[in-house]
Amino acid sequence: MPPTVRALVALLYATAAATVAVELVNWAYAPEQGFGLAVRTGWALIRSFGFLILVWHVRRGRAGAKPLGLILAVTTVFAVGRLVVPRSGVPPLPGAIGFVLLTGLCLAVVVLLYRVPTVGAHLVRHPNRLVLDRRGIGWQEGVPRRPPVAGWTLTARVAAFTYPALMVVPALVALGEAGLRRLPLVLGWLLFAIVVGNALLPIAIFLLRDRAWARVALVVVTAAVLLVDLPLCWLLLGVDGLVRDGVPLVVAAGLTLWGVARSRTTAAARVPAPRAEAPVPDTVS
């Protein structure tokens, strides 16, 4: 691996460790260590494993490492930031310092992924697949026959796959705080998250094949998620829940819509212009 790629791997390990450390500091200094904080902290800790998965992709030079790193960096900043700020008062100094350091690490990850040419030249490989040839059965890189997928298409795909988790977390928080009267509403929230996750699977497959209807379907699903999740956050968790759990979803939705718009522009640019027919010379009688 080039030195810049090795530096990126070390940075990802440091970011994963910093995520765990900042969450533990926030938990120790939190004035209220209730069920909601436990769920949000647990989800933020799981994100540290996301950086380890990203290390696996970077070491193998996978092209999908760029959008995965972008989504992880952005959503980690919001996931940790919503826990640093308490319901009232100012954040504790250790938690604020840790959040600033973690934000700097996430920003450095995005810069290395998108602004360093040697890293971009390394992240070009495709996932392996099972093949059968004269030498027998084995795994080898599955280079697609279709044109390369635009980077913004991969970004939209990865960002959309965060929708179910970003809805399940506040739903679980509401499940612990809501009474029996609102239990059906919370269960419907969880069911909607499951339905969205299943609907995204076929859309993501055809999105990589550059189907126009898949882009339209992803925009419709994004709008439905925002129209359902944000009012439920406000109704069941109040303004605090709307800010803590709604803002990360809005950011993911914004990245998805921006990726869809950019991928549509890229797809239109790849369409060859119609060839002009040569003029027919006049005949002399």
Across 67-86, average pLDDT:
81
* Helix ranges restricted to H, 123-246: 151-160, 163-177, 183-208, 212-241
What is the length of the chain? 285
Q: Can you tell me the distance from the alpha carbon of 271 to that of 254, in angstroms, rounded to the nearest whole number?
A: 26
**Which of helix, strand or coil describes residue 88?**
coil
Average model confidence (pLDDT) for the chain?
A: 80
Highest mean predicted confidence (pLDDT) among 21-25, 172-176, 201-205: 201-205
Across 203-210, average pLDDT:
84
Closest CA to 122 of 53, 50, 66: 66
Write phi, then psi, for 140 (nearest 5 degrees).
-150, 165
Across 227-247, average pLDDT:
87
Verdict on whether the full-model pTM lies above 0.75:
no
Read off the pLDDT of residues 149-188 as tens digits, 9 standing for 90 and up.
567 788 888 889 889 988 988 888 888 776 667 788 888 9
Beta-carbon contacts of 245 under 8 Å, excluding residues fewer than 6 positions away, are: 40, 82, 166, 169, 170, 173, 233, 237
Going by pLDDT thresholds of 50, 70 and 90, the confidence category of residue 276 is very low
